[in-house]
């Protein structure tokens, strides 16, 4: 029963956050864009002129990531999609790095089953993956550029951020069922 209540709570919280969007013009003084699960900070002097930004939560990725190596977590049926976000902008380059921070894991509890979290970044050209230990609640990255082709809503530049989690047990089980070898961090095909 507790598990059912947990799933209902997760679905309701995700449904409420599905349409989260913030859009605004940020000047050379800097500013912050925030929706549940992600914060983007544009520091002072990162822009010459005011620039419009849009931060939104997506329901699906605009382009499917590769299905091998460290991207293997996508193939686990019991994975959790913690969030899919898109940052769009009319600017592609910044004078100072912007900071992107996403919520990845709930607060760490000693003795909890080990989980593997992955953050995928798509810049319109390619995906880059980052693994995050279950002891880290957030993942942060600084960027001087946004990719062309990843923006939406009339903005040419952007970045898509995807956060997935799965238990290490399920990752290993799925890897072995597909004939792979689980290394503890990825599934190697033989």
Domain segments of the chain as ranges: 2-189
Res 24: pLDDT = 94
In the block, residue with structure tokens 């319109």: 124
Contacts of 35 (CB under 8 A, 6+ apart): 17, 20, 21, 22, 55, 56, 57, 85
For residue 87, the model assigns a pLDDT of 94
Q: What is the pLDDT of residue 45?
A: 96
Asked if 83 and 149 count as a contact pair (C-beta separation under 8 A), the reply is: no
Contact present, 61 and 159 (Cβ < 8 Å)? no
pLDDT given for residue 13 in this prediction? 44
- What CATH number does domain 2-189 carry, 2.60.40, 2.60.220, 2.30.110, 2.60.120? 2.60.220
Which pLDDT score is estimated for 51? 94
**Average pLDDT, 10 consecutive residues per value, the chain (190 residues):** 38 50 95 96 96 91 59 74 91 94 84 82 83 85 88 84 87 86 77
């Amino acid at each position: 029963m507790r598990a059912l209540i947990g799933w209902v709570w997760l679905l309701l919280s995700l449904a409420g956050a599905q349409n989260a969007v913030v859009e605004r013009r940020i000047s050379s003084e800097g500013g912050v864009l925030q929706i549940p699960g992600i914060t983007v900070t544009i520091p002072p002097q990162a822009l010459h002129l005011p620039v419009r930004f849009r931060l939104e939560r997506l329901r699906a990725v605009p382009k499917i990531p590769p299905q091998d190596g460290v991207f293997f977590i996508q193939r686990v049926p019991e994975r959790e999609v913690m969030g899919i976000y898109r940052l769009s902008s009319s600017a592609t380059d910044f004078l100072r790095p912007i900071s992107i921070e996403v919520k990845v894991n709930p607060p760490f509890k000693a003795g909890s089953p080990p989980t593997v979290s992955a953050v995928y970044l798509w810049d319109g050209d390619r995906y880059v993956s980052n693994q995050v230990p279950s002891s880290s609640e957030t993942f942060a990255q600084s960027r001087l550029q946004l990719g062309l082709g990843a923006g939406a809503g009339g903005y040419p530049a952007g970045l898509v951020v995807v956060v997935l989690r799965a238990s290490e047990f399920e990752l290993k089980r799925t890897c072995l069922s597909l004939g792979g070898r689980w290394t503890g961090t990825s599934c190697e095909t033989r």
